[in-house]
Structures are given as C-alpha cells and as structure tokens.
Amino acid sequence: MILVTGATGTVGRALVDQLAALGAPVRAVTRRPDRAALPEGVDVVYADLGEPDSLTAALRRVRRVFLLSDGPDIPRHDANLARAAARAGVDSVVKLSSGRVADPSAADPVPRWHRAGEQAVLDAGLAWTFLRPMGFMSNALAWAGPIRATAAVEAPFAAGRVAVIDPADIAAVAARALTEDGHGGRAHLLTGPQALSPGEMVATLAEVLGLPLAFTEVSPAAAREALLGHGVSPEMADAITALRAASLEPFTATVTPTVEQLTGRPAATFRAWAERHRKEFGHG
Ligand SMILES: NC(=O)c1ccc[n+]([C@@H]2O[C@H](COP(=O)([O-])OP(=O)(O)OC[C@H]3O[C@@H](n4cnc5c(N)ncnc54)[C@H](OP(=O)(O)O)[C@@H]3O)[C@@H](O)[C@H]2O)c1
C-alpha cells in the first residue's frame, strides 16, 4: 500500500490519479474525506499531519509514503510523519521538498523549513527520496482572477527568472519513485525546460488564450499586501516574498534534465501547461 499525503492538493491529486491509473494500491490522506473527490478504488482516510495518532492509524499496512507538508509547520509535520512511519515499519518515504534546498546560500524560510523536514526523515532512519522542484507553473493560476476581470497581471521582481515545472511532472517522478526500485538515497532537483520571467509567462498566456494581456511590475511590498488581502498569514506572506525575491538569483534559472531522465518524457513547457488550463483562465 502507498500512502499519499497532500492527496487533495495540486501535486498529490495528480499523483493519486497516476498511481490509480497504474493499478497501484493507494491510500489518500485528507482532513476532509467527505470533500476529497478522489478516484474510485482509492482508500480515502482522515489524518492530520499535526496529530500523530491519526498518522499511526493511516500507516497500517503501508510500505511507501509520499510526504507533502506545507508552510511553517513543515518541520513538525514531517517529524510526526517520519516517526510514525518508522514505528509502522514503512520501507521508504518520498518527500516533496523545495528546489531551493539545493542552493547552499538559500537561508529564507521555505528552504529552511524543508531542510528541517528532510533532516527529520533522515533522523527517523527511513529509506528516503527527496524531490526538490523549482517553482510550480500552477502558481500562475493566481493570475486567473485578474485575467478574467481586467486582462491585466501584476507581479513583483519582473527581471526574475524561474525554471518553472508542471506539477504533473513532479507527480510523474513521484509515481516512479514510489513504484520502482533504485530511487533510495537520491535527491532530485526538478525543473521545467526553460527559465521564464513573469512577463514571459504572461506573454505565453496571452498567446494561448488569444487575448491581449497587460503586465505591470509592482513593488514587493504591494505584492505582499495583496497576499495579506487574500488571507495569507504574515509569516507565509514573508516566506513567499522571500521566495519571489530569490528569482533574481541565477540558481532559480537552473534547468535540469532530471524529469526526462526519470520519466522518459521531456518536461512539459509552460505553453503546454497553459493549454491544459485554458478553462481556469476563463477560456475553452
Ligand atoms: N508552489 C511552488 O512553487 C512550490 C515550489 C517548490 C516546492 N513547493 C512545495 O510544494 C508543497 C505544496 O504542494 P501543493 O501545491 O501540491 O499543495 P497544495 O495544493 O497547497 O495542497 C496542500 C495539501 O496539504 C494537505 N494538508 C494541509 N494541511 C494538512 C495537515 N495539517 N494534515 C494533513 N494534510 C494537510 C491538504 O489536504 P486537506 O486540506 O484535504 O487536508 C492538501 O492536500 C509545499 O511543501 C511547498 O513548499 C511548492
């Protein structure tokens, strides 16, 4: 049995779909099983990474775990899962981490949280694989509302470039790591095929949607205020602002061949991702 945490989120849902399509036995963790809407045949269970007892129950008869946690709780939640998995006799854990963990100079919150999470998995003595993706293409869905409303996008750090990755490619790598042997003890830096600036992503969206879209650079402070206005906590808004600032550093523009090496398929382009998500932007 493979346990997938974060199963209702962007990467986890794609992973559950791919594992179910492969016929692998999957148990999916959510705090809201009634709302999970996961494929037939998937064993959907309640668990909370903040409640170790719920993890013990979810881990019965599990061999491999996909560990997805988020935000300031990452160190504590990863430690809870890793300890419970070790007690349950789990063989291996595939942890979704962050690409910037691989940048030794990165000291802002998100890479710090994920480094602590990786360490918790190591400390539990489990066999491990760390997936370290660069920024997700799906972050562009935050622009869907403004595009539908005003055909205009605002973003900070216009000169920054990130080798953004399609979350479906992260899921494809995770599915391999969870169903094949030979991934133990490996940390994979996962990227898309091209480093893009926010303006270049908006230009691609304009072509795919067949719309003129305006792009305006805003200050980091204004972008942080916008996050707070959407209900993001001040701690998370600071962490996201630091991540966005890191796009000015050469590291985030690094392109790796890892997705293709591990899946046998080239990493998806941002254009292909945008074509698959036209509906969310109000087109198709
Ligand atoms: N976005 C990026 O650019 C980027 C880049 C690199 C790495 N990452 C990393 O990717 C991860 C986020 O992945 P994602 O975008 O796929 O996630 P997501 O769509 O935000 O979904 C979060 C998932 O976590 C689950 N969850 C939240 N709190 C939980 C708790 N206390 N106990 C159990 N489950 C809980 C939610 O499930 P329920 O609500 O159903 O319980 C949901 O399935 C983070 O670790 C982030 O640092 C993101």
Give the residue from 25, 7, 33, 30 showing the smallest Cα distance to 96: 7
What DSSP assignment string belongs to 154-189? Answer: EES-TT--B--B-HHHHHHHHHHHHHSSS-TTEEEE
Q: What is the pLDDT of residues 23-63, one digit of tens each?
A: 999 999 999 999 999 999 999 999 999 999 999 999 999 99
7: domain CATH number?
3.40.50.720
Is the pLDDT at 267 greater than 80? The verdict is yes
| Residue 18 Cβ < 6 Å to ligand 1 | no
Compute the distance from residue 162 Cα to the ligand 1 centre, in Å: 20
| Residue 35 Cβ < 6 Å to ligand 1 | no
- For residue 207, being part of any structural domain is answered with no
Contact assessment for residue 95 and residue 130, using Cβ atoms and an 8 Å cutoff: yes
- Structurally, the chain folds into a number of domains equal to 1
In terms of C-beta density within 10 A (0-12 exposed, 13-18 middle, 19 or more buried), how is residue 70 classed? Answer: middle
| Residue 12 Cβ < 6 Å to ligand 1 | yes
Compute the distance from residue 223 Cα to the ligand 1 centre, in Å: 21
Compute the distance from residue 137 Cα to the ligand 1 centre, in Å: 15
- For residue 147, being part of any structural domain is answered with no
Per the DSSP assignment, residues forming a β-bridge with 152 are 214
C-alpha span between 34 and 50 (Å, rounded): 19
**Residue 139 identity:** N
pLDDT at 283: 72
Q: What is the pLDDT of residues 214-224, one digit of tens each?
A: 999 999 999 99
C-alpha span between 173 and 224 (Å, rounded): 32
Cite the DSSP H helix spans in 29-101. 52-58, 74-88
Per the DSSP assignment, residues forming a β-bridge with 251 are none
DSSP type of residue 136: B
| Residue 10 Cβ < 6 Å to ligand 1 | yes
Percentage of the residues of the chain whose pLDDT score is greater than 70: 100
Strands (E) in the chain, as ranges, are 2-4, 26-30, 43-46, 64-67, 92-96, 127-133, 152-155, 186-190, 214-217
Look up tokens 């399609």; give the residue. Answer: 166
Contact assessment for residue 42 and residue 25, using Cβ atoms and an 8 Å cutoff: no
Compute the distance from residue 211 Cα to the ligand 1 centre, in Å: 31
pLDDT at 284: 61
Q: What is the pLDDT of residues 147-161, one digit of tens each?
A: 999 999 999 999 999
Compute the distance from residue 9 Cα to the ligand 1 centre, in Å: 6
Compute the distance from residue 202 Cα to the ligand 1 centre, in Å: 25
Q: What is the pLDDT of residues 250-264, one digit of tens each?
A: 999 999 999 999 999
Q: What is the pLDDT of residues 175-231, one digit of tens each?
A: 999 999 999 999 999 999 999 999 999 999 999 999 999 999 999 999 999 999 999
Q: Which atom of ligand 1 is nearest to the CA of 8?
A: 43
C-alpha span between 39 and 23 (Å, rounded): 12
Percentage of the residues of the chain whose pLDDT score is greater than 90: 99
- For residue 149, being part of any structural domain is answered with no
- For residue 96, being part of any structural domain is answered with yes
- For residue 117, being part of any structural domain is answered with yes
Is the pLDDT at 282 greater than 90? The verdict is no
Q: Which of 26, 27, 68 to mutate to test the pocket of ligand 1 (most atoms within 8 A of CB)?
A: 68
Enclosing domain of residue 115: 2-133+167-190+254-267
Question: End-to-end alpha-carbon separation of the chain, Å?
Answer: 38
Look up tokens 């940048």; give the residue. Answer: 103
- For residue 198, being part of any structural domain is answered with no
- For residue 129, being part of any structural domain is answered with yes
pLDDT at 196: 98
- For residue 68, being part of any structural domain is answered with yes
- Minimum CA distance residue for ligand 1 atom 1: 136
Contact assessment for residue 282 and residue 144, using Cβ atoms and an 8 Å cutoff: yes
